[in-house]
Structure formats: C-alpha cells, structure tokens
Chain A
Amino acid sequence: MLAFIGRRLLVAIPTILLISVFVFLLQQLLPGDPILAMAGEERDPATIEFLREKYGLNDPLPVQYFKWIGGVIQGDLGISLRTNQPVSELLLQKLPVTIQLAVMALIFAVVIGVPAGILSAVKKGTVVDYAANVVALSGLSIPNFWLGIMLILLVSVKWGLLPASGYTPPGEDLVRSITTMLMPAFVLGTALAATLMRHTRSAMLGVLKSDYVRTARAKGLYERRVILRHAFRNALVPIVTLTALLFGELVAGAVLTEQIFTIPGFGKLVVDAVFNRDYAVVQGIVLCTAVGFIVMNLLADAAYFALNPRLRKS
C-alpha cells in the first residue's frame, strides 16, 4: 500500500511542476501593467523602475520562474500587490471559511444524493426512479448562483428565516455560524447531490446484479439487510473515490456561492483579486486548488485501496 502511494506521489510531482509553469505563464497574458497602476498618477520613471526591480520584473522569464517556484516550494507565493500581505497568509486566512462551506455542502450532498441513488437503483424503472432522475438532471442544469438568489428571495427576504449573507466564525458563535452557512451549503450541495445520486445509482445497479447479492437473497435475508450490508458496502468503493473527485466542482461552486452570500472565503478572494489585477493572488489560488485536486486524487486512490480487500492482497 505504501509503495503504491509512493509511486503515485512520484507521478504527481511532474504534474504539479507543469501546473506551476502554466500558472506562471498566465501572467504573460496580462493586458495591463500592474506596476503602472501601482505607480500612481505621476508615473514617475524612477518609481516604476524601483517597483520593477522590487518585484523582479526586469529578469528574463526563466529566471523569474525559478525565483518564483523556489519561493513557492518554501511556502512563499509572493506578495499581494493590493494589500501588501503575503499571498500564503491571505490564503490561510480564507481557507477555513471555504472548508467550512465545503464540508457542510458535502454533508448535504451525501445525505441527499446517496440515499436517493440507492432508492432509485433498488426501484429501477418505477416512478421513484424516474422522479429521482428528473430531479437529479434538474439539479445539474440549475445554475447554482441562481438557486442561491432564489433562496435568498424566499427564505430571507419573504420569510425572514435565515440571514441572507455574511459569515460568523464557528469559534465565535457556533450556532450562528452554522445557521448563516446553512443556505450557501445547501446551494453548493445540490449540484453535487445530483452527481452523487447518478454515481450511486449506477454503482448500485452494477452490484445488485452480482452473484453474492443473489446468494444473500437466496439465504432468505431481509431485503433491507441485503441492500445495506451486501450491496451498498460494495458499491461504496466507487462512490467514495468519486466523491473525492468532486473536489474541483466543490471549489468552483464555492466561488459563485461565496459571491452571492458575500462569504469572505477563497472564492471571494479570487474574484476580488481578479478585479484588482492582483495576479499573485490569482496564481496562488489556481496553484493551490490544482495541488488540492491532486492530493484528493491521491486520497481517492488510497481509499480505493483501503476499501477493496482484493487490491490490498496483491
């Protein structure tokens, strides 16, 4: 198992390096010159030159890249041109907020998606199955930022049940923190629930046809026990790995969700950075999410390994 993970790690390193090259090259696409913006109205040549030297913009590209990646490896993602804060510090500040949102969204997604998938596989071809599929496809087709706006309109504006925006750290007031996050997490969770439901359904359909399920039924076990103990346990393997791969959707969805509910997380940070032309922050975020995705992939592989006894032996 360790050897397997080690091998996967080795393969991941060149991928991460390649991503870093892409991310670095992004700034070459930039139309405007952030230094000109920083130099202010007078655009004093000496100031511009000083700033260029300070941020290393006079070096040739490969030198700039190696300087940058050397820093990145040591956790230095550069300095935000806007706030003058280190980018890594900014990211660490915002990360817990987005993680709270993502975890709550994932809970919604699993609680809705997995049972719906099991039910629709067990009742394949019935009204229940059909309805679950329609709901799932709708969930995939609804833009989640619109769903967020509609929920704000209903739940906050019309009924006044939940706050429409903002964020309270859980350490400050746990109950308030959870209630404020409830609606955003639900919005982010629905699209994932739809994907999860489809995966669960197809995994369950595959397992329900297998011999051991037939054997379990032939032994006269209760149907409930057959489905949960024998079938679902085996269907769990693909479901868990696929859940880990939903990470990308989760992060991308968080950008929009945080924008609608004005939650000061990762997604809000990237959007603000984009409008402020704070490209060190944008680069840091793209790099972080890509590395996060690769780590989730590795975890998914590890989970696949751990959950599948046949693989463990070989």
Chain B
Amino acid sequence: MAHVSDPATADSVLDAKPENRVWKKFRSHRSAMLGVFLVAFFVIIAVAAPILPIQDPTATSWSAVRAAPSAAHPFGTDEIGRDVLSRLIWGAQASLMAGVVSVAIALCFGVPLGIAAGYFGGWTDTVISRCTEALLAAPFLILAIALAAFLGPSLGNAMIAIGLSATPIFIRLTRGQVIAVAAEDYVESAHAIGLPTRKILTRYIFPNVLPPVLVQATLTVATAIIAEASLSFLGLGQQPPAPSWGSMLNTAKNFLNQAPWMALWPGIAIFLVVLGFNLLGDGLRDALDPRET
C-alpha cells in the first residue's frame, strides 16, 4: 500500500499504531468510501426528515391521486394522493432503524453467548452450540416470518424477529473467534499471572473478537434492511399509514399499470442503502484484515 501519497500523515510513529493503519487503509479503499457516502446520505435525510421542506408523509389529497411526477410532487403521488418523495424520506427512518436495532439485538444476545460458549467450553458450549445449529437450520427469512407472525405484525416485532433470527450467526462467529484468541500466548500468560476471568474476558478476549464481529454486523445491517423491507412487503412490518419502503412497494404492485413511479423509487432507495452497507462491510473487512498489511 502506498503511504507516500500523503506526506502530512505519513508519520512513522502514527503508522505504527494499528488504528491509524486500519483507518488509512480504509480511507484509500474507493468502494468503501462510496459505501460511507451512501450510508451517510441516508442517515442524514432520515435524521433531517422533520426539518426538511417536504410535505406531510401521511397527508392525503383526493385531487392528486396517483399523480405523475411534477414540480409539486417530484416523485409523484400514491394511490391516496400522498407525496411519494416525502414518504420515501420518512421511510428511511424505518429502514435504518430496523437495520440498526435488529443488529443491536443480535449483538446483545449473540456476542455474550458466543463468548461464553467459546471461553468456558464443556457443557456450556455443547448446549449453546447445539441450539445455534438448530436455529441456523431454519432459513433466516422463514424464521423471521414465523416469529413476526406469532408476535403480531408491527415494526417493533419485525425488528425483534429479525434480530433473533440473526443471533445465531453472531454466536457462531464470536465462539470461533474466542476459541482462536484464547489459545494465544498472551491469554495464557494472563491466566498464569492469575488475572480474574472477568478481566481476561474484557481486556484480552473481547477487543480481539471485535473486528470480525464489526464487519459481520455491518453486512448484517444490509441483510436486516432487506429483511425488514420483505416483512413490510408481506404486511408483517411497519403498519399503515406510517411510511416504509417495503409497504410502499406492496401497494405499488397493485398500480403498476397506472402509477409505475410508485414502485420505482422505494426499490432504488432500498438498493442504494443496502449497497452502501455491503460496500462499507467489504471495505472494513479488507482494512481490518491483518494478513493484507
């Protein structure tokens, strides 16, 4: 990797710190930067939705039902005259929230269980690993659909369903990572000098488990956003009239002939935000991979 291109930061002392090396590598990764840009764009419009000069996403207008794109409605209107652009912008909130919250749920359960299984081994490991295997056998979306169905349809329940369905991935990843790290010399010496388990876990195991978990979490946000859109598309996620990209597409498919714009934009939005998280995850993986330095 060419460090010379940026002499101001190519300070040898800074370079020695792994965080700086990773950051530099990440920053020079062109597609990762595109990912950062895409994700940042959607986060900004989602956060700024209340102050943007757009129409009320739930305001209906019978005089502008399924109106084609125009100056007043740049992306057209839907079947009851709501502005597609403003629903799209507010829908970003639901999508991003679903992605982040469900991954947070998966991390909260998955990482501690994975650490417990990997570090303590024995029966703890057997029980946790068997359950993980069983859960992994059910396809992610089928499990999420079943959970969402049994919990009842709402955005909150969709997040719980997606989060729980994604948990086994994190248990397995963390467990494998912990087993690898626990065999390292520095962990053994920490044992030898008599550090308590809690300290070993928080000071030595956890920080070393984090990078691959972070990469997986980023990629899972992408999967979770698609999953939320899928559940909302099936009517198991965000409930009307609150806007969500998945439910917008669900309605749009009934008006393909009369109002194709209703179907176009929510799909493009999902595609771009998911692509953003995928690029970000791939970039993080490359930057954090110590083998490639």
Nearest chain A CB to B251 CB, angstrom units: 11
Interface footprint category on B: 35 or more
Q: How far is the CA of A270 from the CA of B144 in the complex (A)?
A: 12
Q: By the criterion CB–CB under 8 Å, are A15 and B134 in contact?
A: yes
Residue-wise interface mask of A (241-275) relative to B, using a CB-CB cutoff of 8 A (1 in contact, 0 not): 00000011101110110011000000000110011
Task: Tell me, in angstroms, the Cα distance from A34 to B229 when the chains sit together.
Answer: 28
B257 at the interface (CB under 8 A from A): yes
- Shortest distance from the beta carbon of A282 to any chain B beta carbon, whole Å: 5
Residue pair A142, B233 in contact (C-beta under 8 Å): no
**A9 interfacial contact with B, CB 8 Å:** no
Most buried by A among B134, B137, B147: B137
Whether A252 contacts B140 in the complex (CB less than 8 A), given A146-B271, A259-B234, comes out as yes
Q: Is the CB of A141 within 8 A of B271?
A: yes
The answer to the question of B278 belonging to the interface, with a C-beta cut-off of 8 Å to chain A, is: yes
> Which of B63-71, B148-156, B178-186 is the contact stretch?
B148-156
Chain B residues near A152 (CB-CB < 8 A):
253, 256
B130-141 vs A, CB cutoff 8 Å, 1 = contact: the mask equals: 110111011111
CB of A140 within 8 A of chain B?
A: yes
Residues of chain B within 8 A (CB-CB) of A279 are 150
Contact B145 A149 (CB under 8 A): no
A145–B247 Cα distance when bound, in Å, is: 12
Interface status of B235 (Cβ within 8 A of chain A): yes
- Which residue of the partner chain, among B138, B148, B253, contacts A293 with CB atoms under 8 Å? B138
Question: Is B234 in contact with A271, judged by CB distance below 8 angstroms?
Answer: yes
Q: Is A27 an interface residue (CB 8 A)?
A: yes
Stretch among A18-26, A102-110, A222-230 lining the B interface: A18-26
Given contacts A18-B130, A142-B271, A143-B229, contact A149 B249 (CB under 8 A): yes
**Contact partners of A161 in chain B: CB under 8 A:** none
The reply to whether B253 and A138 contact each other, CB–CB distance below 8 Å, is no
Q: How far apart sit A252 and B278, CA to CA, in the bound complex (Å)?
A: 20
Closest to A250 in B: B139
Partner of B150 from A27, A270, A297 at Cβ < 8 Å: A27
Stretch at the interface among A40-48, A199-207, A210-218, A283-291: A283-291
> Which of B150, B235, B257 contacts A26, CB < 8 Å?
B150
Instruction: Collect the chain B residues with CB atoms within 8 Å of residue A309's CB.
Output: none
Given contact pairs A143-B271, A256-B234, A271-B234, A293 touches B149 in the complex (Cβ within 8 A): no
Give the shortest distance, in Å, between B258 (CB) and chain A (any CB): 10
Measured between beta carbons, the chain A residues less than 8 angstroms from B131 are: 18
Contact B274 A143, beta carbon cutoff 8 Å = yes
B interface footprint on A140-175 (CB within 8 Å = 1, 0 otherwise): 111101110110110001000000000000000000
Contacts of A293 in B (CB 8 A): 137-139
Tell me whether A252 and B141 are in contact in the complex, defined as CB-CB below 8 angstroms, given that A143-B226, A150-B263 are known contacts: yes
A248-B134 CB under 8 A given contacts A26-B147, A141-B222, A260-B253: no
| Interface residues as binary, B273-293 with A (CB distance below 8 Å gives 1, 0 otherwise) | 011001100100000000000
Q: A248–B249 contact, CB under 8 A? A: no
Inter-chain CA distance A19–B152, complex, in Å, is 21
- The answer to whether the Cβ of A29 comes within 8 Å of any Cβ in the partner chain is yes
Question: Once bound together, how far apart are the Cα atoms of A163 and B147, in whole Å?
Answer: 33
Contacts of A128 in B (CB 8 A): none
Residues of B within 8 A of A30 (CB): 150
Indicate the member of A143, A150, A255, A294 with the most B CB atoms within 10 Å: A143
Given contacts A152-B256, A252-B139, A293-B137, whether A274 and B149 have CB atoms under 8 Å apart is yes
Given A18-B134, A146-B249, A149-B267, decide whether A248 and B140 contact each other with a Cβ distance below 8 A: yes
A251 with B236: CB separation less than 8 A: no
A145 to B135, CA, bound (A): 25
User: Hey, which chain A residues are within 8 Å of B148, CB to CB?
Assistant: 274
Chain A CB within 10 A, most for which of B256, B279, B282: B256
Report B229-273 CB contacts with A as 1/0, cut-off 8 Å: 110011110000000000001001100110010011011001100
A150 and B267 contacting across the interface, CB-CB below 8 Å: yes
Q: Is B142 an interface residue (CB 8 A)?
A: yes
Which residues on the A side are within 8 Å of B143 (C-beta)? 286
Chain B residues with Cβ below 8 Å from A22 are: 134-135, 138
Assess the B149–A282 pair: CB atoms within 8 A.
Answer: yes
B44: CB under 8 A from chain A? no
The chain B residue with its CB closest to the CB of A29 is B150
Answer whether residue A237 sits at the interface, using C-beta atoms and an 8 A cutoff: no
Q: How far is the CB of A227 from chain B (nearest CB, A)?
A: 26
Say yes or no: A149 contacts B141, CB within 8 Å.
no
Whole-angstrom distance between the Cβ of B228 and the nearest chain A Cβ = 10
Q: A247 to chain B: which residues have CB within 8 Å?
A: 139
Q: Which residues of B contact A15 (CB under 8 A)?
A: 130, 133-134, 137
19 inter-chain pairs at a CB distance below 8 angstroms, sorted by A residue, are A15-B137, A31-B151, A137-B282, A141-B222, A141-B274, A145-B230, A146-B249, A146-B267, A149-B253, A256-B141, A256-B230, A256-B233, A259-B234, A274-B146, A283-B146, A285-B146, A289-B139, A290-B138, A293-B139
- B residues in contact (CB < 8 Å) with A: 130-131, 133-135, 137-143, 145-152, 222, 226, 229-230, 233-236, 249, 252-253, 256-257, 260, 263-264, 266-267, 270-271, 274-275, 278-279, 282
Q: A260-B253, A271-B234 are in contact. List 9 more A-B contacts (CB 8 A).
A: A18-B131, A26-B150, A137-B279, A150-B267, A252-B140, A282-B150, A285-B146, A293-B139, A294-B137
Report which A residues bind B (CB closer than 8 A): 14-16, 18-19, 22, 26-27, 29-32, 137-138, 140-143, 145-147, 149-150, 152-153, 157, 247-249, 251-253, 255-256, 259-260, 270-271, 274-275, 279, 282-283, 285-286, 289-291, 293-294, 297
